[in-house]
Each structure stands twice: as structure tokens, then as C-alpha cells.
Structure 1
């Protein structure tokens, strides 16, 4: 027998005051069993009847042989069950390094082989720990069994014995987590719990009756789905996933993720107390590493992550399933068995306080701004909560933001018409290799939760959309403004011109002041010395091929590289939502200026244009209700000019003065790309020779005409030419019934819409020219024009 710390052996495993004891010892080897039996015998209480039952509880997939336990329960009906186990803790070095290749070969120290157990006991006895699970009386366990299954234990003795063994495993896991940490909390015996749930069985019987097939056939189908979707996380693979997450995130980014520690403690309290889901923005495949990395490093239970079945390929699928990944089919609307199984599984996880996490956009954002939320997973999560009776459900928005992004170039290619590469093992290897280039920092920001006292009715689509809208608004609110995003916004505003470093700093400084006045969230880069680091940020973007530096003239200048405007616009679009209200205000003011000579009520013109623009961009941005939105616009006017109403009364002169007070002007910085794309679509439709006009027609013809328009410099940049932009433009046309060929006045309506977009193009180009002129940096052409 190896040496063992006497202090540990001195603690008695016998429950105090027990009339009889059943020891369940979770032993994976004869060596462990001998140590645990010695521990019991050292403190033997000869007057107390007892029985030692060895069981191996570590693998949920193995059936439990509970015959001996069944007999012990019959023999000692008043016994207290005392579960015992040996835990093997990691060395300090292995904790710091994470899993190594040798761990794959010899097995993890968490579950060491027999020879390894003997070696550790002999050479490293401090790594052996005795675990005593919380004892429980058979009376209490019987009451819990009856409450769960609505049957007496005597009616199902074998099932009751299995129940007792699994409860022993759970309390042993809880005791072991005190040694290892909460990050290793994983669900146990999931399939058994789901399969034996009375409500679930009743649902399956109803489906079998509706299909007119035997229940066994439906149950076999359920078993297949269990194998597909149910995650099987364990300690070793959680460690592996954490190490791979660190590796992938640190290849191109600074090792430390930027987040607010106090925010994290707020989230910890929510996850511990309430059924919770963390919904994050989706910019890149790395998003799925960022949130789990933070939670693992801060000893949260690892979240269960939803992912599409397209990621369940060899290698990645194996890893993710063993570290909390749940793969679901892309489409299963008509599969009642699959929906019932998924709903039951989700409800179980939420009931047991295992946090869920997924991208609520459903796909990576190809344009940088927030995509319209997908309701699918949210719907099934809330259905699962409704089914399990969950209360105070916390939906926590999470913004994951990057200085630069490897995927942005891929998105630009996709938007230009290049097909997306399919995911595979070789694709994954290539993707990881592409990350090994400096890309700055990663920021993770947690918003205020959307709290649901109870889950809404599963068929209440309005309630579901309200939840998704609240999440989107909150995640937009906490998305930080980054320096690369502002640099991109600054240089795109003058594209294809270039700016000196001093001009870039001056323009970014204006934007920073604008953001500070509105108390917008920003990255930690914006300290008092951020201008001194501008050259470093510019160099980072030069290395990425987004901007260029020319030092062969009188001054060093920076500009967007030809063909890279779509990439730069991606970074600009990550913060564009902050500027939309002022952009709409500027365009509406310009519309009022244009109407000043017509004797119109200029304030009425202004508000009508505000409403028109809000409706035009309703598929791009998330707005509050109309009355709230109008108050926000009035707030923008009040902030710029408290006397704005008197300026309206002064007509064109007053309105020009009012627009001139907007510094910096932002309409062209934020909305020009969308207006130009919509104008291209409107022009194509106005000249469309056929009656039918599909989304595919719109995208194909707009892509061709858009490229022509850019070559003719009729639009500001090729960032305005993209498949997603034209798909959204089609939605606008469709919502205005302009693709409906049966509409009597459709031809005239299409022409009016195109003319309106042309007018918007003119207004935003005027604002753009005014902004460039306000810099006081004339071009050579401008100087010649002045002299002439």
C-alpha cells in the first residue's frame, strides 16, 4: 500500500448518526478499490450494519450492474448512502501547459491507467485526493425518485437502484469540482434522463399514433437523434478545447482578451442562479472560441454551444462534441420527432443550469454590421424552457469585436460573386494557418440581459421577434468603437483620395470627440495617447493590405488600396449603427433645404423625410418605435443647435447654417454605400424589360451594372457592389410592391422610386463634398479651378 497523507485518512467516511450505511465506491481499478476499502475499514464502526458496493460511475455510456446495490437496499432499507471516489489532480505544470501529446498516448492524469495510478501514488501522493460525496438517506432518495417518475421505488426496484447509483455519481462530481473548479461541471446521464421523462414519452406516443407506426420505431429514431445532437463533454477534452482556443486566438491576436471583469462577475451570478443563454455576434469562426475561453479561464461551467451540422466533419466534430458542442440540422421544420427531441434536450440543460450559447445572427456577418437575427435556435430554446417550466430566463447579449479580421477578405470575395469554400478538415487546417499574422486585439462585451419571467407561447411569433430585437439593440449598444473602424471610416469618406497622417489623426479625433459626447462604448485604445500610436495602427492595416502608404512626395499619405474598399467598409460597418441617426438627420435637412424655394413647411418636410429614410433602411438597421425614434432625432438637433426650431423658421439660410454646425458630417460615412446599392437596384428595375423580377434577377443584373457604375465613377467605391446589399435592396423593392408586375401603376412607381434614389445620391454626394471641402485641404485640381 502506498504512502498516503495521514491527515486525509484521518477523516472518517462514515456518515454521522447513520443506523446503516451503504458505501458506493467509484473505483476504476482494483488499486483504487483497495485504497477506498482501507479508508472505510480504518474507521470501521462494528455496531453499524454496512455494505460496500464497488461501481464504475465514470462512463455514462456503460450500463450499470446494480444487482449488488439492489440487494443491499433490500437488506438495509434505512441506510444512508455514502459515495466515495479517488480524484487524481493535475500537477501545476500540466495545469499551466494544458494537455500535451504524451497525454494522448498514456491517457490523461484525470483518469490515469492502472500503472500510472501506482506511479503517482508512489512518487506523487499529494496528487491523490479522497472524495466523499454528500451522503443521502434511502428515504430521501425514495421521495425524489417518486417525485420524478410518479412511481414507488418498490414497483421499479432495478430502476431505483440505478437512480441511487447515478445520484451518487452526481454528488461525487460535485465534490470533485471543489478540487478542480466549476469549469468542469458537465451533465451526467443525459440520455437516460431524457428517455425516461414521462412527458417526452407521452409526446412520442402521440407522434407514433399520428404516423400510425409502432412506438418502438419512433424510439429508434429518437436514439439516432440522441447520437447526433447530444454533447458528451468530459474533463480531458474540455482542457484540449481550451488549449486549442488559446492557440487559435493567439496566433494573430494579443493573448489577453479585453473584457470588463466586473461585467463577468455580473454574468457569473446570472448563470449560477437562472436558466441562461449567451447570444454572441458572429464575425468569424473564432467567435466560438472567444466566449468559452473567457468562461473557462474564469471557472464558469463551460457553455453548450450550438453549431450547424456543416461543422460536424471529422476532427472538428469530434472535438466540439466532447467539449460542449451541439450540432443541429439546418432544416427540420417537418420532422416532429427531431423537434421534440431537441426541445426536450434543451429544456433539460436549462433546467439543470447549464448555460447555452450560440450566434443569434445564424451566420457570419458578411458586411460587418449586425445581421437580422435568426429565430430558429431561440425558438427551440424558449420552447424547451416552456416545456420544462423554467422561470426568469436570462438572455445575455455578447458583442465579440476584433481590430482586424482574417475573414473580411473572404467576405469581400463572396460579395463580389466568388463562391464560398465548403468546410472540411483541410479547409480548417488552411484557415488556422491563415491566422498567423498580427491582427490586433479581441474585445468581448456583455450587455444587459433580456429577462423573461417565463417563456412566451411557442407560437407567439411577435413575442419571439421582440426578444430577438431587444438582444440586437443591446448588443449594438455594447459593441465597442475601435481605432481600425474609425480609420476605415475616415479614409473611405474621401476614397479614392489619400490623407496625410496628420489629417487622419485630426479626422479620427473629431470622430472620437463625437463618440465621447454621446458616451458611446469604445475600445481601451482611445486613451490620451492614442494619436501617438496611430502609425502603429496604420502599419497594421498596411500589413493586411487594406491601406497603402506613399512617402515619395512632399508628405507621407495614406489611402485605401484599390480593390480593398469592400474590406475597409467591413470594419467601418461594425460601428455604422452609432451614426445612423445623425446621418438621417443630415439627409433630411438637405431635403428641407432643397424644398426651401417651394414655399413648403420646412419642418414638415424634414420630419416626412426622416420617416421616409427610416422606412428605406428598415432592413439594414434596428430602430426603436417611431415616436421614440423621432425623439432621438430631435435630441440630435438639440445637441447640435438648441435653437434649431428658430433656424428652421429662417428658411434656407437658417437650414444651411444648421447643417453646417454638424461636425463631423457623417451621412456619407455611414449611408452612402447603402444608398448607392439601392439606387443601382432601382435603376435596373426601372429599365427592366420583363414583367417578372426575382431576387436572383436583381442580384445578377445589379452586380453587372454596379461594376459598370463603379468603372464610370458613378458610385463612390466598389464597396457599394455586393450580393447581400442587392438582396436587401430587393427586399426594399418588394416591400414597396415594385416587383409586383400586376400592379396597375408599377411602371410609373418604379421610375419614381429610381428618381427618388437618384435624388438621395445627389444629396449625399453634396454632403460628402462639403465634408471634404471643410478639411481645407484642396486638391491640385481645386487650386487650378480657383485660379481660373
Structure 2
């Protein structure tokens, strides 16, 4: 156990001695094996498989022995101390008023705590925060890859349920897991799981996975079933030691296996202070009531599960606070050069005003325009090796180190969801501003042109961000444009659109959208290069990564953050959705059209970037009539 303190080694050893091999299954597992409904389900499955009932029951029992967890008082106490030791790089910040409201729910309901997943530390944060405040014991779901010797045995005695990722060929396993979750909910236990399935590699939420949620839905549906309150839990960090490894994987490095050596190395990293970790509680909702609403709207069970998953993701984004680290990273990524303190503050100021107008939460209630607060974030990023601080001139300047753009982008992306609608609104205004005087307009006039462009961008990025339904998206976009214009835009002319864009503060399209569109451009280019040939996914991704690295060196893409396998995979998903990967009529032509669409979107983003430069202090504002022409 090299690298772990003597205190921690002793803690692990003492806890391991308390494990009681052969002591039997936890209470919920025993109750499930005694349940007549579960026995009938096993018998039905045995008949369907042509198997012996006893053999199927034995198989289910072995799976229960593998996954079932419990809360041993002494082990849980020791584990909490170990978790605090792992978390020693951070101060944990929670909103106690939110926690008190959650305790009221905890007294009457089973809580389904769906959390955002940015770090392996998340599995310590939630149990420690809730346990210290005397919540009902929480069962946390984790991947079977983390069920390591000693540590896995300890964790399962503290409520950690280890589950397998791939269970397609294991019907008895799936039935057992579903039934076990049903039993936990019936006992009004609290369950916590990552709605993303695994850690984000980019800093923003990944698409939700439906496995645990589907089983939770099964547990609350049907007459006499208990309800559960779904509670989105956002966990965000000022900085993370893990980001360097994740960004290396985004550049093609092989993922390091989670073994004991990895655990010890990870624990050793936590010696270095990294600031704060913020746990924020999103808006809870009754799972049964939401399902009833969706079924009343005619949705199937699968469609309802997908909608609930998106509901959770939206609420998670809404609960995620803006960190000073994220805003500083956004400013430096946008500048792509060294900035003085005054220049950083000048860039942050309009962003801070916008965040305040939109009433987005700020982590720790920090003042984003406070000089000392921003300086501290710059210095902390410099100490961790993300930024370089140069003090040799007339005043200090900060810049992102050459190989740290993806790390800075990770921190920026933790809040990028709050900026997307505004960025799309800017492109919609630009489309109107670029209309020729004699252009043929749709029935809705110039405003309809803008809405159509906004919906096109939304469709282009729908695998990247969580957008609400179209009606709500349009309403939110109207709110963004009202903030930008200071009034409702009811009768929008090209000249008015150009004037609004020229005078907008801040300009966001180039800061928010360009990295993603640059990545899409690379993949679309490699796809178009193949004509109508069928393409292997992995070969296409490898080709995109190689060409992306080349284009970065040639400055054909805006920055290194767009050279990422994670972003290429999202672009690949979009291409597949549009039918560009399988043989079909005019495939080569459609691939070329896909490339042209992204090229034109990037051209418009570049126009916004030019306007942003013109809007900086001491730079003359261009003639609005010539902005977009």
C-alpha cells in the first residue's frame, strides 16, 4: 500500500478484519429470496429457458451475493473517515437550506439521488454529506470494475452496490437486479446513481443512460407500489486531479485500468489542495406523478423513461453552479493569448452581468467581478499547471499552457449549458442581419428566418447539449433575446438585427460553439473524403484524430480543445442519425452537404468573433449597416 498514510493503512486493515465471510446475505437480499412474486418470476424464466428452477434460483442467489450491500455501523463509520481522507484536497460546500428541505422528503419517501459524475470522489461525497446530517442510509451504485480486493468488500458493507455494465446475455442477472432495486424501494431505502453512467470526459453532462432509472420506474409502477422522489444532485469541483488523465484519453491515450495500484496513486494525488467541491440539490419530483403525466400524454413506457432521464439532466444543469474557475477558463480560452488582470476582468464583467440577469447560481455565492476572487482562481490554475503566469514584464499576465487547453475546456464546460441558448440566439440574429433586401421571406417574415436558423443549430448540436422541447426552447430563446435587446423583438428588421449584434455584451457564439463545430468539421471532412464508401467507425475516428492534430498545427481549427475523440464521437453519432454512415441514395452528395452546413455555421461564428473583438474597450464599433454584409 505504498503512498497511503499509516493511518489509512491501519483503517483498511481494521475494517477488513471486521468482514465476516459466509455471514449470509444482507437483509434486503434475504427478503427478496423469500418473496413469492420473485419466486414466480424465477420460475417463469426457468420455464422460458428450459432450465431447472433450482438452478435458476441458485444463479440469482449468486448474483445477489455479488451485488447486495448493507450498512454496517462500524464499517460505515470507518469508511466515512476513509472518504474524508480521500477528499482531503477539498472543502465540501453545501447549501444547508437545500439539505434541510431534502431531509423532509427523506422522512417520508425513498429518494432516487441522480448525480452528475465528474470524479471517482463523487461516491464519497454524497454518502458523507448525507450521513453526517443523519439521512436514511443511502445505497450507491457503482461499476463492477471498482469492486477491487479489500476495497470492494469494505464498500459493499457501507451501501455500495457493484453492478455489471454488460448484461445483455444475462437475463437472470437483469431480473435479479430489477427485483433487488424494487425491494430496496419497498423498504424505503435511498438510492444514488450517476445518470450519465460514467464520468464525463469533457466537463459537461454526458447523455443519460436508462439502466438504473428503468429499474426504478419498474419499482414504482403498478398498484400498491411505493413512490420515489427523484432528486438531481450536482457535484462540481474547482479543479480535479483526474482531468489530466481524462484529457489524455481524449487525445487517444489508453484508459488506465482501475486496480489497487490506481487507487493508491489516486489517493496520493489528493495530497495537493484543489479548492472546493460543491454539492447542490436540484428540484425534486415525484417519479410516479411524472410517469402518470407522460402516460396521459400517450407516451409508451420506454418513451416515458427517456423523457424522465432528460428531465433529470435538465434539472442537473439548472442546479450546477457557475464556478470562478469555469469563468476564468472561458475568458482565457476565448482570448487564446496572455491576458493581464484588467483584461481578464474586462472579459469576465459582461459574463458576470449576464449570469446575474439569468439568475444562474454561483458556487459559494462568489462575486465573479471581485478582483481578489479572480486573482485567486488564476493563481490556483497556475499552481496546478493549467496556466502560466509571467511576471517579468511591466505587469503579470496569464496564459493557458500549450498542452492544457483540454483541461481548461473541461472546467469551462461545467457551465457551458447556461450559455448555449444565448450563443444560438446570436447566430439567429446574424441570419436575419445577412438577409438581402430583396430576399423572399417565409410567411412569418424575418422573425421566422431567425427561428428556423435557431432550430437548425439546435438540431445540429442535439447530441452535444440537452435542449428542451421545441416550444420551451423557443420560449427560452425569446428570454435570451429580450435580455440582449432590452425589449421583446416583435418586428425585427435586418438593420435592427445587425445593430443589436454590434452592440451586444457579451458575444458568446464563438466562445461556446466553435470548439464543437471545429470538431464536427474535421469528422465531416473525413466523411466527405470517403465519397459513398462504407466506413468503419473506429477507422474514421482515428483518421479524424490524426487530421485534427494536423489542422491544429496549421491553425485550421480554433484551438487544441476541438481535437478530442469525445467530440468526434458525438459528431459521429450525428452523422449516423442523419443516415450518413450506411449505404443509401446520393450518399456522397449528402456527406458533402453535411460538410458545407458545418462550414457555413463556422463562418457565421467567425463573424460573431469579429464583432466580439470590435466590442472590446478602445475598439470602434463598426457601422451596423455593414456588420453582416
CA contact (8 A) 1:276 1:356 kept: yes
> Shift in Å at residue 285 of structure 1?
0.2
CA contact (8 A) 2:502 2:615 kept: no
Counterpart selection for 1:545 from 385, 388, 397: 385
Q: Does 1:502 align with 2:502?
A: no
> Shift in Å at residue 584 of structure 1?
0.3
Q: Does 1:253 align with 2:90?
A: yes
Taking structure 1 as the reference length, what is the TM-score of the superposition?
0.73
Aligned residue runs from structure 1 range 153-232, under 5 A: 189-232=27-70
Counterpart selection for 2:240 from 373, 388, 405: 405
Change in Cα spacing, 1:759 to 1:422, as seen in structure 2 (3 Å) is same
Aligned residue runs from structure 1 range 132-171, under 5 A: none
Q: Does 1:374 align with 2:209?
A: yes
How far apart are the structure 1 equivalents of 2:583 and 2:549? 27
Which residue of the partner structure matches residue 529 of structure 2? 687
Which residue of the partner structure matches residue 420 of structure 1? 255
Change in Cα spacing, 1:352 to 1:657, as seen in structure 2 (3 Å) is same
Taking structure 2 as the reference length, what is the TM-score of the superposition?
0.90
> Shift in Å at residue 611 of structure 1?
1.0
Aligned residue runs from structure 1 range 45-194, under 5 A: 104=14, 189-194=27-32
How far apart are the structure 1 equivalents of 2:430 and 2:169? 51
Change in Cα spacing, 1:748 to 1:107, as seen in structure 2 (3 Å) is closer
Q: Does 1:770 align with 2:611?
A: yes
How far apart are the structure 2 equivalents of 1:757 and 1:347? 46
Change in Cα spacing, 1:301 to 1:339, as seen in structure 2 (3 Å) is same
Which residue of the partner structure matches residue 603 of structure 1? 447
> Shift in Å at residue 195 of structure 1?
1.4
Counterpart selection for 2:511 from 654, 669, 674: 669
How far apart are the structure 2 equivalents of 1:559 and 1:488? 10
Counterpart selection for 2:331 from 470, 482, 490: 490
Counterpart selection for 1:622 from 434, 458, 466: 466
Residue correspondences, number: 599
> Shift in Å at residue 525 of structure 1?
5.0
How far apart are the structure 2 equivalents of 1:441 and 1:777? 37
Aligned residue runs from structure 1 range 502-581, under 5 A: 502-527=342-367, 530-581=370-421
SS in structure 1 of the partner of residue 94 of structure 2: coil
Deviates more, 1:332-341 or 1:263-272: 332-341
Change in Cα spacing, 1:681 to 1:236, as seen in structure 2 (3 Å) is same
Spell out structure 1 runs of 4+ moving beyond 6 A.
Answer: 97-100, 105-108, 454-459
> Shift in Å at residue 721 of structure 1?
0.9
> Shift in Å at residue 249 of structure 1?
0.8
Flag the structure with larger Rg.
1
Which residue of the partner structure matches residue 594 of structure 1? 434
How far apart are the structure 1 equivalents of 2:354 and 2:162? 43
How far apart are the structure 1 equivalents of 2:414 and 2:16? 47
Change in Cα spacing, 1:293 to 1:646, as seen in structure 2 (3 Å) is closer
> Shift in Å at residue 740 of structure 1?
3.2
How far apart are the structure 2 equivalents of 1:227 and 1:770? 62
Change in Cα spacing, 1:771 to 1:195, as seen in structure 2 (3 Å) is same
Which residue of the partner structure matches residue 319 of structure 2? 478
How far apart are the structure 2 equivalents of 1:577 and 1:738? 28
RCO higher in structure (CA 8 A, sep ≥6): 2
How far apart are the structure 2 equivalents of 1:316 and 1:691? 49
SS in structure 2 of the partner of residue 394 of structure 1: strand
CA contact (8 A) 1:587 1:763 kept: yes
CA contact (8 A) 1:416 1:722 kept: yes
> Shift in Å at residue 775 of structure 1?
2.0
Can you list the C-alpha shifts for 1:456-491, whole angstroms capped at 9, x where unaligned? 799711010111111101010010000000000000
Change in Cα spacing, 1:508 to 1:540, as seen in structure 2 (3 Å) is same
> Shift in Å at residue 555 of structure 1?
2.8
How far apart are the structure 2 equivalents of 1:777 and 1:492? 21
CA contact (8 A) 1:550 1:557 kept: yes
CA contact (8 A) 2:352 2:369 kept: no
SS in structure 2 of the partner of residue 703 of structure 1: helix
Q: Does 1:355 align with 2:190?
A: yes
Which residue of the partner structure matches residue 235 of structure 1? 73
SS in structure 1 of the partner of residue 500 of structure 2: helix
Structural RMSD (CA): 2.5
Aligned residue runs from structure 1 range 311-330, under 5 A: 311-330=146-165
Residue ranges of structure 2 left out of the alignment (5+ in a row): 1-6, 620-629
SS in structure 2 of the partner of residue 326 of structure 1: strand
Change in Cα spacing, 1:463 to 1:556, as seen in structure 2 (3 Å) is same
Q: Does 1:648 align with 2:492?
A: yes
SS in structure 2 of the partner of residue 327 of structure 1: strand
